[in-house]
Chains A and B, each alone.
Chain A
Amino acid sequence: MSITTRSNKEATRREVDRAIRSGGGDWRPLAFQGLLLLALITSFGILVVLLTDIVTNAWPTIQARGFSFVTDGLSLNPETAGVFTGIIGSVIIASIVALLAFPIGISAAVYLEEYAPDNRRTRFVDTTVRNLAGVPSIVYGLLGLAMFVPLVRMIGLGGSTGGKNILAAGITMAALVLPIVIITSIEAIRSVPATIREAGFGVGATQWEVIRSHVMPSALPGILTGTVLTLARAFGETAPLLVIGVATGYFAPAGDASILDRLTGPYTALPVIVFSWSRQTQAAFADTLAPAAIVVLLIVLFLLNGAAIWLRNRAEKRW
């Protein structure tokens, strides 16, 4: 009888001891932490494998062609094909996005944050914007096909492509990124403390004067971060362009084509070149030219992302 009690006491003492030392010889917490770490390492490992694989495959082209790969245009000959046409296309699309989506998006954010009363209608607009941001990009392609391509044709800029040109692509891409511009701008404006606004109102400034001279200067770095990330998105999107008739094959504008002819003619973009080269019948295109185009695309995106992170670090202001 007494023996049992003692061994029970022993067991209890061991249990308490183990609990106090938070597990002591218990391997399970360590294994749990190990599993989490493994997940983290795997996530980054995939990134490393992906980049290594792409760069290894791209290396022969990068080595043989050097910078001329970036400055050469489309060609059917893998020896001379470059991504210049795509870079130009992407830059034009990004410029149209900047011209259309940034002013509209930032203004909409200012309205929602600074002017709109907190009522059902405002919340409806807010929800709509957030839901729009999650609509698959290919749906925006269909929107462009049904609305913006005919629109461009209607205003007489259809050109040889009947509206399936870079102008329609730019408008479509602007519609795609608009919700993202609005959301990131709202976040930036919201982070400006109310006291800053009150200081402005206190000296008799109107709403617009407060926005222009108090809110905007403080919110601008944050807004810029968002817009730069948006440009990165516009640079990387492929699917909507495929739907609205981007050229996936070889084309070349006539040597004497005017700027308007070029703008309304066939076009391509950097990510679309990756796609179309991956389906070429000549092996060299898929084997090494497409990876090299990916390298160019990733460098552009990393630069844009780097700029955004730099801006964000500058913007992180403690009030």
Chain B
Amino acid sequence: MTQSITTVDLTGDPRRRRKERRVRAIFLAAGLASIAISALIIVALSGEAWRFISQVDPAALFTVGWFPRRGLYDIPTLIIATVLIAGIGMLVAVPLGLGAAAYLSEYASPRARRRLKPTLEILAGIPSVVLGFWALTFISPEIVQRVFTSAKPFTMMAAGLGVGVLITPLIATVSEDAMRAVPTSLREASYGLGASRSTTVRSVVFPASLSGVVASLILALSRAMGETMIVFMAAGAVGGALRTFNPLEPGQTMTAAVASLATGSDQVAGEGLAFQSLFFVGLLLFLITLSLNSISNRLVRRYRNRY
């Protein structure tokens, strides 16, 4: 009467198993799409970038400025402007972002935090074209030109301040996450030793969240260097720029160089290697931000693992 159960009974309906395999294959293909995109980016950029670097006169890479339509491809001009603008942005955003993060995480009441954090996230969602417009029409005339009366309407200073506004909420939200991830027991231990709240924040919470905080700063730096619209609209220098360290001069970053070449009247046809130079600059930017992001991701993983 008793019937023994065999493995055939347990493996289930072959139709169900076939369907299972098909579904799995579909999901796998979707997973591979992301890899395909990164491969496409590298192929798309490096082909033309190689053509540029192999055909360009090496002397043209280190001249006095970036004027691709005249055959002058001074890469340092772009790098100096990129670092300068990102640096000004960080000078504004680091104290504001970290201060806001520490207050939200350590001092604000839970209710206030629930209201304020989404607002910060909305601030982080303001499109860069809006901040670019505002940097051009408000920051430049109302702040930069008032403080520095000699400043022109288009300056790297105005663009840098605009970039600072852009990355402040990014630093604030990511750092706040890192500070909140510090276990309460560490704070309690500090209070138990008689430390005040400010001492606890400075000597316990901050060091414990350091890797997350640093990750947020690197992420912000990468965003600042990759930001296009603010710089393109507020730093001026459409068509080209002279090499300068003066933030009160117009300047062109790597991103703005790509954007302005691409929106020129002849639409990335240009002369000589102008079209190829776009991809070389793009590849450079890709590699810089990629390395910054991987450092940041690694740091985030480290603090996630610790607590």
| Residue ranges of A at the interface with B (Cβ–Cβ < 8 Å) | 19-20, 22-23, 28-29, 32-33, 35-40, 42-44, 46-47, 49-50, 53-54, 57, 103-105, 107-108, 110-112, 114-116, 125, 127-143, 145-147, 175, 178-179, 182, 204, 206-208, 229, 232-233, 235-239, 242-245, 248, 271-272, 274-275, 278, 286, 290-291, 294, 297-298, 301-302, 305, 309
CB neighbours of B294 from chain A (8 A): 127, 131
Residue of A nearest to B260 (CB): A242
- Please give 11 more A-B residue pairs, beta carbons under 8 A apart, in addition to A107-B31, A129-B34, A134-B222: A32-B202, A33-B197, A39-B95, A46-B168, A114-B27, A134-B219, A134-B293, A134-B296, A135-B293, A229-B125, A302-B122
Return the 8 tightest CB-CB contacts between A and B, nearest first.
A39-B99, A136-B226, A236-B127, A107-B30, A146-B44, A239-B228, A111-B27, A134-B293
C-alpha gap A119/B202 in the complex (Å):
39
Asked whether A236 lies within 8 Å of B107 as measured between CB atoms, the reply is no
B233 to chain A, nearest CB (A): 6
Which residues of B come within 8 Å of A, CB atoms? 12, 16-17, 19-20, 23-24, 26-31, 33-35, 37-38, 40-41, 44-45, 47-48, 95-100, 102-104, 106-108, 116, 118-123, 125-134, 136-138, 165, 168-169, 172, 194, 196-199, 201-202, 219, 222-223, 225-229, 232-233, 255, 258-259, 262-263, 267-268, 278-279, 282, 285-286, 289-290, 292-294, 296-297
Q: Is the CB of B100 within 8 A of A40?
A: yes
Partner of A206, one of B16, B97, B121: B16
Q: Give which listed residue, A29, A39, A111, A139, contacts B196 with CB less than 8 A.
A: A29
Q: In the complex, what residues of B have CB within 8 A of residue A229's CB?
A: 125
Q: Across the interface, do B123 and A47 meet the contact criterion of CB distance under 8 Å?
A: yes
Q: Are A136 and B168 in contact (CB under 8 A)?
A: no
Q: What are 9 residue pairs bridging A and B, where the CB atoms are less than 8 Å apart in the complex?
A: A29-B198, A33-B198, A40-B116, A54-B134, A128-B35, A133-B293, A143-B44, A245-B268, A274-B130
CB distance from B269 to the nearest CB of A (A): 11
* In the complex, chain B residues whose CB is within 8 Å of the CB of A53: 134, 137-138
Least Cβ–Cβ distance between B27 and chain A, in angstroms: 4
**Contact, CB under 8 Å: B96 / A275:** no
Cβ–Cβ contact B262 & A243, under 8 A: yes
A297 touches B130 (CB 8 A): yes
- Interface pair A290/B133, CB less than 8 Å apart: yes
Q: Choose one: A127, A140, A291; the contact of B297 (CB below 8 Å).
A: A127
A27: shortest Cβ distance to chain B, in Å? Answer: 11
Which residues on B sit within 8 Å (CB–CB) of A275?
Answer: 129, 132-133, 229, 233
Are A50 and B12 in contact (CB-based, < 8 A)? no
Q: How many whole Å from B230's CB to the nearest CB in chain A?
A: 10
Contact of B297 with A131 in the complex, beta carbons under 8 Å? yes
* Contact residue among A132, A142, A175, A305 (Cβ-Cβ distance under 8 Å from B258): A142
A271 lies within 8 A of B258 (CB): no
CA distance A36 to B206 in the complex (A): 13
Beta-carbon contact of A178 and B33 below 8 Å: yes
Contact B30 A115 (CB under 8 A): no
Q: In the bound complex, do residue B127 and residue A111 qualify as a contact, i.e. CB atoms below 8 Å apart?
A: no
Other-chain residue from B26, B95, B126, B222 in contact with A107 (beta carbon distance below 8 A): B26
Are the C-beta atoms of A40 and B99 separated by less than 8 Å? yes
Set of chain A residues within 8 Å of B31, measured between Cβ atoms:
107-108, 111-112, 116, 125
Contact B34 A125 (CB under 8 A): yes
Contact A43 B20 (CB under 8 A): no
**B127 engages A208 (CB within 8 Å):** no
Measured between alpha carbons, how far is A274 from B128 in the docked complex, in Å? 11
Residues of chain B with a CB closer than 8 A to A179's CB: 34, 37
Residues of chain B lying within 8 A (CB to CB) of residue A178? 33-34, 37
Chain A contacts for B119, CB-based, 8 A: 44, 47
| B-chain residues with CB within 8 Å of residue A19 when the two chains form the complex | 194
Q: Which residues of A contact B45 (CB under 8 A)?
A: 139, 142-143, 146
**How far, in Å, is B205 (CB) from chain A's closest CB?**
12
Q: Could you tell me if A36 and B99 are in contact, using CB atoms closer than 8 angstroms?
A: yes
Find chain B residues with CB under 8 A from A132 CB: 34, 37-38
- Give Cα A271 to B40, complex, Å: 27
